[in-house]
C-alpha cells in the first residue's frame, strides 16, 4: 500500500488526461479527483504541509458537489455513479480498488460478506498464523535439532485455544487494515451481495448503481466433491480447519496440494497423525517433480503421515453414533472400490470452486465454464457468443486463471491500468507461488517437464542449474541445510523459464527470480548482482552463477563489470 501511494503523486495527472472517457468531462472531473486524492493522502498518513491543507478544503467542497450529483441522477459532470465498481472485497478487489484510487478513479467496492475475502478470513492469513505455531512446535520438539544448537528445552506443549485465537486475531487485524486502507483512500464500501443487472449496471441489496467499468472479483469457496458430507466437525473444509476447534488424533486429508500440505504441517506438529488421499498417482502434483520428490522425503516420510495415491474418496460419512469417520476409496481410473478408512476426522482440500452463482451473469449472456467466468488475457469477460462484454472484467479465483491471492491483485491492477488508458497484459508466468510448510516450497514459471515440452515444440534447448542449501552458510547456521533450488533456463539466451525452491524461507527467496522473469532480466545480467553474505539469498545467487549461458554477456552487463 505504501509503495503504491508514494508513486501516486506523479502519476495522478497523466493517465487521467488520456482516459478514453467522455472528453468534454475530462477537465471538470480532473480537478476534484485530484484534490480528493490529496485529501486521502492526508488522511492516510496525517502529514499536512500547508499546500495540501488548502487542497483539502477544496476537497470538502467537492465532495458535497459529488454527493448532490449522484443524487440528482445524470449530473453534468458524469454519466455514471462510479468510474469503477468492484464486486467482491477480497485481496483481488482490494488491490484493484487501491490502484484505481491511485489512478484517480471514483471507486466503489461491494461486499456481501466480510472485507478481506478468503485470503484474509479463511485462507492465507489465518493459515500463516497456524503455520507460525507449527513451525515453532516442530523446532521445540526436535530434540536433535535443539541439541545441535546446544539448547535445552523440554516438554514443549500448546494450548489449542491460544493457537486458534492467534489465527483469528491475525485475520481480524489484517481485515481491519484492509478496510481502513480502503476507507482512508475514500473507496465506497457498499454492503450487500452484488449482481450484474446489465451493461455497466450493478445491483447490491435493493440499490442499483452504475459504473463505467465493472470488475467481478467474487473469489471462490472450498470445493467439496459429491459423496462427501461436510458436517463442520469431523468432516471439514479449510474454512473450519482454520478455526482449529479440535486437533484430532488421526485426520485424513483429501488432496495433497498447497492447502492439504500446509494443513498436514500444522496437524502433525500439533500431534495428529495424517493420511493423505490423492487422486493422482503422485503426492503434490503440480510441483516440479524433483521438488515434490524432495518434499515428500522431508515433509511426508519422516512424519506421522501415510498416503493413498491414485484413489478418489467416493464417500465420506462424518463420525456419528459412536462410529468414526468412514472414507470409501475407489480407484481413480477403474472406479472400483479399493479400501475403506476409519479416521477421526477428514479435511477436504480438493481445491476451490469459483463463487459465481447469483451474479446475474445471464443478464449479459455470459455462461460460466465449470463455474469459472471466461475471460481473455486482459481479464475481459467473454460472453456466450465468444464476444467480449464491454466494460466488464473478472479477476481472481472467479476466472480460474491462477487461483492465488496475489495473482488476483495483480490482475486487478492490470485491469485498472487498462481502463485508465494503458494497455497491460499480465505475465502469469512471472507470478510466484509458495507453500508455507516447514521448510517452505516456492516456485515461479514453468516446471521442468513443462519447459521441456515447450522447448521441444519451439525448438530451443533447456538447461537446469541446481544449488543446495547444504552449501549455504546462513542455512547451516540455522541447522537447516535440507533444501534445493533449481532453475530451468535457456542456455542460448539466458532466459529464466522457471525457478523452484525447497528450503528454509523459500517463499521469501523466490522474488528475485520472479522479478527477473517479469522484467525480462537475463541470467548473464543478474548473475553479476551482489548478494549480502551470509544470507539465504546466496542460494539463488549461486543458481544464477551456476547457469551456463552460451551467448556472451550483453553489452550493458559487461560495462557494469568494467565499472566494478
Partner 1 sequence: MAVSSSSFLSTASLTNSKSNISFASSVSPSIRSVVFRSSIPPSSHRRVMTVRSKIREIFMPALSSTMTEGKIVSWIKTEGEKLAKGESVVVVESDKADMDVETFYDGYLAAIVVGEGETAPVGAAIGLLAETEAEIEEAKTKAASKSSSSSSAAEAVATSPPPVTSSPAPAIAQPTPVTAVADGPRKTVATPYAKKLAKQHKVDIGSIAGTGPFGRVTATDVETAAGIAPSKSSVAPPPPPPPAAVNGKATTATNLPPLLPDSSIVPFTAMQSAVSKNMIESLSVPTFRVGYPVNTDALDALYEKVKPKGVTMTALLAKAAGMALAQHPVVNASCKDGKSFSYNANINVAVAVAINGGLITPVLQDADKLDLYLLSQKWKELVGKARSKQLQPHEYNSGTFTLSNLGMFGVDRFDAILPPGQGAIMAVGGSKPTVVADKDGFFSVKNRMVVNVTADHRIVYGADLAAFLQTFAKIIENPDSLTL
Q: Which residues in this chain contact partner 1 in the complex, by CB under 8 A?
A: 137-138, 141-145, 152-162, 245-250, 268-275, 290, 293, 297, 301-306, 308, 322-324, 326, 328, 336-342, 344, 463-468, 470-473, 542, 545-548
Q: Which is nearer to partner 1, 64 or 144 (CB)?
A: 144
Is-contact 564 527, C-beta < 8 A?
A: no
Q: Which strand (E) or helix (H) includes residue 147?
A: helix 143-149
CB atoms inside a 10 Å sphere around CB 189: 15
Q: Which is nearer to partner 1, 274 or 536 (CB)?
A: 274
3-class SS of residue 349: coil
| CA neighbor of 359 nearest in space, from 191, 222, 215, 182 | 215
CA 318, CA 327: separation in Å to the nearest integer?
9
What's the length of the chain? 564
Number of H helices, E strands in the chain: 19, 23
3-class SS of residue 488: strand
CB atoms inside a 10 Å sphere around CB 1: 16
The minimum distance between CB 273 and partner 1, in angstroms, equals 5
Whether 533 sits among the annotated catalytic residues: the reply is yes
CB burial of 401-429 (b: ≥16 within 10 Å; e: otherwise) equals bbbbbbbbbbbbbbbbbbbbeeeeebeeb
Q: Which is nearer to partner 1, 290 or 383 (CB)?
A: 290
The minimum distance between CB 495 and partner 1, in angstroms, equals 16
The minimum distance between CB 311 and partner 1, in angstroms, equals 10
Which one of 240, 308, 428, 533 is the catalytic residue? 533
The minimum distance between CB 501 and partner 1, in angstroms, equals 15
The minimum distance between CB 328 and partner 1, in angstroms, equals 6
Q: Which is nearer to partner 1, 67 or 153 (CB)?
A: 153
The minimum distance between CB 375 and partner 1, in angstroms, equals 37
CB atoms inside a 10 Å sphere around CB 143: 13
The minimum distance between CB 560 and partner 1, in angstroms, equals 21
Residues 6+ apart with CB under 8 A from 11: 102, 103
Question: Any bridge partners for residue 235, and if so which?
Answer: 346
The minimum distance between CB 334 and partner 1, in angstroms, equals 12
Distance of CA 226 to the CA centre of its chain: 27
Q: Which is nearer to partner 1, 250 or 372 (CB)?
A: 250
Residue 399: DSSP 8-state: T
Q: Which is nearer to partner 1, 10 or 152 (CB)?
A: 152
Q: Where are the alpha helices (DSSP H) in 404-528?
A: 405-419, 448-458, 473-477, 506-509, 511-519, 523-526
Q: Which is nearer to partner 1, 66 or 542 (CB)?
A: 542
> What helix, strand, coil percent values describe the chain, rounded to 5?
40, 25, 35
The minimum distance between CB 169 and partner 1, in angstroms, equals 17
Is-contact 427 402, C-beta < 8 A?
A: no
Q: Which is nearer to partner 1, 91 or 343 (CB)?
A: 343
| DSSP result, 258-307 | HHHHHHHHHHHHTT-EEEEEESSSSSSTTS-HHHHHHHIIIIITTTTEEE
| CA neighbor of 345 nearest in space, from 373, 321, 316 | 316
CA 361, CA 389: separation in Å to the nearest integer?
11
Is-contact 28 79, C-beta < 8 A?
A: no
The minimum distance between CB 275 and partner 1, in angstroms, equals 6
Euclidean distance between the first and the last CA atom of the chain, given in angstroms as a whole number: 35
Q: Which is nearer to partner 1, 140 or 403 (CB)?
A: 140
Q: Which is nearer to partner 1, 238 or 268 (CB)?
A: 268
Query: Would you name the residues annotated as active-site residues?
Result: 533
Amino acid at each position: 500500500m505504501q509503495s503504491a501511494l508514494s508513486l501516486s503523486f506523479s502519476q495522478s495527472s497523466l493517465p487521467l488526461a488520456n482516459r478514453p472517457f467522455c472528453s468534454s468531462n475530462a477537465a471538470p472531473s480532473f480537478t476534484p479527483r485530484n484534490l480528493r486524492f490529496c485529501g486521502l493522502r492526508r488522511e492516510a498518513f496525517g502529514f499536512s504541509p500547508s499546500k495540501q491543507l488548502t487542497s483539502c478544503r477544496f476537497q470538502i467542497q467537492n465532495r458535497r458537489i459529488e454527493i448532490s450529483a449522484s443524487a440528482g441522477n445524470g449530473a453534468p459532470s458524469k454519466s455514471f455513479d462510479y468510474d469503477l465498481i468492484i464486486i467482491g472485497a477480497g485481496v483481488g478487489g482490494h488491490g484493484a480498488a487501491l490502484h484505481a484510487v491511485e489512478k484517480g478513479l471514483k471507486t466503489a467496492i461491494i461486499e456481501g460478506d466480510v472485507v478481506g475475502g478468503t485470503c484474509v478470513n479463511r485462507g492465507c492469513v489465518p493459515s500463516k498464523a497456524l503455520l507460525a505455531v507449527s513451525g515453532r512446535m516442530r523446532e521445540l520438539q526436535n530434540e536433535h535439532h535443539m541439541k545441535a544448537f546446544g539448547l535445552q528445552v523440554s516438554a514443549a506443549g500448546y494450548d489449542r485455544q491460544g493457537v486458534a485465537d492467534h489465527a483469528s486475531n491475525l485475520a481480524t487485524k489484517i481485515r481491519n487494515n484492509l478496510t481502513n486502507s480502503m476507507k482512508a483512500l475514500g473507496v465506497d464500501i457498499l454492503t450487500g451481495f452484488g449482481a450484474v443487472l446489465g451493461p455497466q449496471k450493478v445491483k447490491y441489496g435493493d440499490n442499483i448503481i452504475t459504473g463505467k467499468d465493472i470488475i467481478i472479483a467474487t473469489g471462490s469457496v472450498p470445493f467439496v466433491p459429491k459423496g462427501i458430507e461436510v458436517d463442520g466437525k469431523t468432516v471439514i473444509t479449510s474454512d473450519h480447519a482454520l478455526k482449529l476447534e479440535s486437533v484430532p488424533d488421526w485426520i485424513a486429508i483429501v488432496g495433497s496440494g498447497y492447502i492439504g500440505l500446509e494443513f498436514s504441517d500444522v496437524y502433525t506438529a500439533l500431534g495428529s497423525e495424517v493420511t493423505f488421499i490423492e487422486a493422482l498417482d503422485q503426492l503434490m502434483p503440480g510441483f516440479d517433480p524433483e521438488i515434490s520428490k524432495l518434499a515428500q522425503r522431508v515433509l511426508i516420510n519422516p512424519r506421522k503421515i501415510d498416503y493413498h495415491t491414485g484413489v478418489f474418496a467416493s464417500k465420506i460419512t462424518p463420525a456419528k453414533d459412536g462410529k468414526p469417520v468412514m472414507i470409501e476409496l475407489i480407484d481413480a481410473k477403474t472406479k472400483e472400490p479399493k479400501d475403506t478408512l476409519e479416521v477421526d476426522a477428514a479435511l477436504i482440500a480438493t481445491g476451490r470452486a469459483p463463487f459465481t452463482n447469483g451474479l446475474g451473469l445471464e443478464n449479459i449472456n455470459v455462461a460460466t465454464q465449470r463455474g469459472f467466468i471466461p475471460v481473455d488475457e486482459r481479464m475481459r469477460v467473454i460472453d456466450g457468443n465468444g464476444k467480449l462484454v464491454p466494460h466488464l472484467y473478472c479477476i481472481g479465483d472467479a476466472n480460474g486463471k491462477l487461483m492465488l491471492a496475489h495473482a488476483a491483485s495483480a490482475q486487478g491492477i492490470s485491469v485498472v491500468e487498462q481502463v485508465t488508458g494503458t494497455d497491460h497484459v499480465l505475465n502469469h508466468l512471472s507470478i510466484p507461488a509458495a507453500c508455507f510448510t516447514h521448510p517452505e516450497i516456492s516456485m515461479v514459471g514453468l516446471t521442468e517437464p513443462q519447459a521441456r515440452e515447450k522447448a521441444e515444440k519451439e525448438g530451443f534447448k533447456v538447461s537446469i542449474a541446481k544449488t543446495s542449501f547444504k552449501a549455504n552458510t546462513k542455512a547451516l547456521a540455522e541447522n537447516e541445510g535440507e533444501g534445493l533450488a533449481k532453475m530451468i533456463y535457456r542456455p542460448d539466451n539466458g532466459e529464466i523459464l522457471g525457478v523452484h525452491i525447497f528450503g528454509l524461507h523459500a517463499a521469501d527467496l523466490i522474488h528475485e527470480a520472479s522479478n527477473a522473469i517479469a522484467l525480462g532480466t537475463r541470467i548473464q545480467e543478474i548473475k553479476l548482482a551482489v548478494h549480502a553474505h551470509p544470507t539465504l539469498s546466496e542460494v539463488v545467487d549461486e543458481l544464477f552463477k551456476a547457469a551456463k549461458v552460451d551467448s556472451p554477456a550483453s553489452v550493458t552487463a559487461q560495462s557494469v563489470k568494467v565499472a566494478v
